[in-house]
C-alpha cells in the first residue's frame, strides 16, 4: 500500500464512541488494555475525562475509503487537549513557568497518552495486517497530523507519553529533529521463567529474601486472605468496596479522585478478561483492594486503597500478590505504576522511560537542550545507583 495513492481520510473525533469499537481494537497489539475502546469509552462515559479534569478528547483516526464508500479504520491515536499536566506523569511545570514568564501560553497543549496511566504501550495504532512499509507510512501520517493539529488549534505543542519501544524507534529515527526527548525512571518486575514465588525468591540475596518472607508472613499470621477476581467474577458489592477504598485513599494522600464506581463497574463488564481485582479480607470483612490490568504479556498495577493502615498490607496487595499472579499466568513483565524506590528491595528493577515533545514555538531551544541533557544524565545516574541496591544475587 502506497499512502500517496491510497484513498483515505483523516478525522478528529471528540468522543471515542464515534469510532467503531471492533475497528479500533483491531489495531491494538497484545490485548494492551489501556488503549482499548472499552477503557477509553468508560473514562468518557463517566466523566473521568473532559473539561473538569482538563482531558478533552481529539482522537485521530485514519480511514481507508473503498469503492463502495465503506470506511475502514487503518490507523489511530488516542489524543487529548490538556489544560494542566494532571494525570500525565511527565512533569513539565518548569516549562509552563518559562512560557508564562515571557508572556506565552503553555496551555492548551495536545498529548497522545492514556489518562492517569503511566504504562508503556502502543500509541501509534495501525492495521497490522498491512505490510511493514505501509504500517510505517501510516505511523508517519499519524505523527504529522498530531503536529499539524496542535498548530491548527493554536496549541503550544504535541506530547507523546509512555509509548512502546517500536513507536519510540520511529520518533527517534524519522522525527528526531521535531521532537525533544525526555527520560524518566520506573521500576518493573521481569519474569525469568519462574515456576513459583519460591523460585523467584531463590534468586534474591539472603537478607532481601528473608525480609520479603517476613513481610508476607506478617499478613498470613494476621489471617488476611485474598480473593483474585476477573471482571466476570467481581460482583456489584466487590466494586462498591473497592471504590470506597480507592476514593478514601486518594482523597487522603493526593486530591480529588478522577475515577468512580460507574467507571469501575463498566470496565468490569466490557473488558472483564483484562481485569485483575485483588481484595484483602479478614473474618469476612474486606480490608483493602488493588485494581490491576493484564494483557497477553504484561500485568499492570494501577489503583489501591485500604480501610485502615495495616503494616505490610500495601506490599502484599500491590507487589507480592501481583508477582505471584504473573508467575502463575506466565506474564513476562509486571509494571506496578510510577515512582517508588521501595520497590527495588522487593524485586523491581529500574527501567528508563522516554517521552517526546513537539513545540509549535520554542523560544528556549538552547535552554531546553541543556535541560534535557542534564535530565538524561541525572536519570541515568539515578538508575545506575538503583542497580547497586538490586536485591538479586550476582549471576
Same domain membership, residue 197 and residue 134: no
The yes-or-no verdict on residue 288 having pLDDT over 80 is: yes
Same domain membership, residue 163 and residue 27: yes
92 within some domain = yes
Find the helix or strand (DSSP H, E) in which 247 lies. Answer: helix 236-253
The CATH number assigned to the domain holding 367 equals 3.40.630.30
Asked if 170 and 124 count as a contact pair (C-beta separation under 8 A), the reply is: yes
The yes-or-no verdict on residue 232 having pLDDT over 80 is: yes
What total of structural domains would you count in the chain? 2
66 within some domain = yes
**How many Cβ atoms from other residues are within 10 Å of residue 137's Cβ?**
19
Closest CA to 357 of 124, 95, 102, 166: 95
Q: What's the whole-number average pLDDT of the chain?
A: 96
What average pLDDT does this structure show over 203-207?
97
143 within some domain = yes
Q: What is the DSSP letter of 61?
A: E
The yes-or-no verdict on residue 5 having pLDDT over 60 is: no
- Beta strand 333-335 with 298-306 is parallel
- Beta strand 349-359 with 225-229 is unpaired
What average pLDDT does this structure show over 374-392?
97
The predicted structure's pLDDT at residue 255: 82
153 within some domain = yes
346 within some domain = no
First to last CA, the chain: 48
Give the number of residues written for the chain. 395
User: In degrees rounded to 5, what are phi and psi of residue 96?
Assistant: -60, -45
The predicted structure's pLDDT at residue 358: 98
Distance CA 331, CA 322 (A): 10
Asked if 194 and 200 count as a contact pair (C-beta separation under 8 A), the reply is: yes
Same domain membership, residue 317 and residue 211: yes
Asked if 304 and 287 count as a contact pair (C-beta separation under 8 A), the reply is: no
Same domain membership, residue 206 and residue 165: no
CA count, 13 A, side-chain hemisphere, 94: 8
What average pLDDT does this structure show over 141-166?
98
Same domain membership, residue 46 and residue 180: yes
Q: Tens digits of per-residue pLDDT, 313-360?
A: 999 999 999 999 999 999 999 999 988 899 999 999 999 999 999 999
126 within some domain = yes
Q: Collapsing DSSP states into helix, strand and coil, what is residue 228?
A: strand
Asked if 245 and 307 count as a contact pair (C-beta separation under 8 A), the reply is: yes
Same domain membership, residue 365 and residue 303: no
The yes-or-no verdict on residue 2 having pLDDT over 60 is: no
The cell for 166 is 517500536
Q: What is the 3-state secondary structure (H, E, C) of 198-223?
A: HHHHCCECHHHHHHHHHHHHHHHHCC
Same domain membership, residue 227 and residue 154: no
Same domain membership, residue 356 and residue 312: no
Segments forming the whole domain that contains residue 368: 8-184+351-386
Q: Tens digits of per-residue pLDDT, 48-79?
A: 999 999 999 999 999 998 767 689 999 999 99
Distance CA 269, CA 73 (A): 25
List, in sequence order, every residue forming a beta bridge with 340; answer none if it has no partner. none
Same domain membership, residue 198 and residue 170: no
Q: Nearest-5° angle of CA 72, CA 159, CA 106?
A: 130
Distance CA 384, CA 371 (A): 20
Per-residue pLDDT band at 395 (split at 50, 70, 90) = confident
Distances (CA, A) of 97 to 156, 208, 316: 13, 43, 40
Same domain membership, residue 154 and residue 243: no
Same domain membership, residue 110 and residue 257: no
392 within some domain = no
Asked if 371 and 183 count as a contact pair (C-beta separation under 8 A), the reply is: no
3 within some domain = no
The predicted structure's pLDDT at residue 70: 82
The predicted structure's pLDDT at residue 340: 85
Same domain membership, residue 217 and residue 175: no
Amino acid at each position: 500500500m502506497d499512502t500517496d495513492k491510497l484513498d483515505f481520510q483523516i478525522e478528529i473525533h471528540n468522543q471515542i464512541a464515534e469510532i467503531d469499537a471492533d475497528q479500533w481494537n483491531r489495531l491494538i497489539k497484545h490485548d494492551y488494555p489501556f488503549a482499548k475502546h472499552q477503557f477509553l469509552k468508560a473514562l468518557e462515559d463517566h466523566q473521568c475525562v473532559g473539561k473538569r479534569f482538563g482531558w478533552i478528547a481529539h482522537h485521530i483516526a485514519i480511514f481507508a475509503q473503498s469503492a463502495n464508500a465503506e470506511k475502514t479504520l487503518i490507523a489511530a491515536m488516542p489524543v487529548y487537549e490538556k489544560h494542566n499536566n494532571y494525570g500525565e506523569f511527565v512533569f513539565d511545570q518548569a516549562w509552563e513557568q518559562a512560557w508564562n514568564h515571557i508572556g506565552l501560553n503553555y496551555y492548551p497543549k495536545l498529548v497522545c497518552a492514556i489518562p492517569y496511566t503511566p504504562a508503556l504501550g502502543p500509541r501509534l495504532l495501525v492495521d497490522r495486517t498491512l505490510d511493514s512499509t505501509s504500517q510505517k507510512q501510516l505511523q508517519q501520517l499519524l505523527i504529522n497530523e498530531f503536529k499539524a493539529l496542535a498548530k491548527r488549534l493554536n496549541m503550544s505543542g504535541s506530547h507523546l507519553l509512555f509509548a512502546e519501544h517500536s513507536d519510540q524507534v520511529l520518533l527517534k529515527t524519522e522525527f528526531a529533529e521535531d521532537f525533544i526527548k525526555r527520560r524518566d525512571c520506573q521500576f518493573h518486575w521481569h519474569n525469568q521463567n519462574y515456576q513459583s514465588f519460591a523460585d523467584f525468591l531463590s534468586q534474591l540475596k539472603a537478607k532481601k529474601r528473608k525480609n520479603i518472607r517476613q513481610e508476607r508472613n506478617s499478613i498470613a499470621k494476621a489471617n488476611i486472605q485474598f480473593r483474585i477476581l476477573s471482571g466476570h467474577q467481581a460482583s456489584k458489592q466487590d466494586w462498591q468496596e473497592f471504590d470506597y477504598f480507592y476514593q478514601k485513599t486518594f482523597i487522603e494522600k493526593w486530591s480529588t479522585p478522577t475515577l468512580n464506581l460507574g467507571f469501575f463497574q463498566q470496565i468490569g463488564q466490557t473488558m472483564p478478561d483484562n481485569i485483575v481485582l485483588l481484595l484483602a479480607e479478614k473474618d469476612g470483612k474486606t480490608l483493602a483492594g488493588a485494581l490491576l490490568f493484564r494483557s497477553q504479556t504484561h500485568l499492570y498495577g494501577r489503583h489501591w486503597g485500604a480501610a485502615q493502615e495495616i503494616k505490610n498490607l500495601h506490599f502484599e496487595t500491590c507487589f507480592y500478590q501481583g508477582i505471584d499472579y504473573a508467575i502463575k499466568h506466565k506474564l513476562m513483565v509486571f509494571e506496578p505504576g510510577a515512582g517508588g524506590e521501595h520497590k527495588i528491595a522487593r524485586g523491581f528493577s529500574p527501567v528508563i522511560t522516554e517521552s517526546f515533545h513537539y513545540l509549535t514555538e520554542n523560544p528556549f531551544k538552547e535552554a531546553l537542550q541543556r535541560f534535557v541533557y542534564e535530565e538524561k544524565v541525572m536519570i541515568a545516574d539515578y538508575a545506575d545507583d538503583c542497580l547497586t541496591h538490586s536485591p538479586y544475587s550476582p549471576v
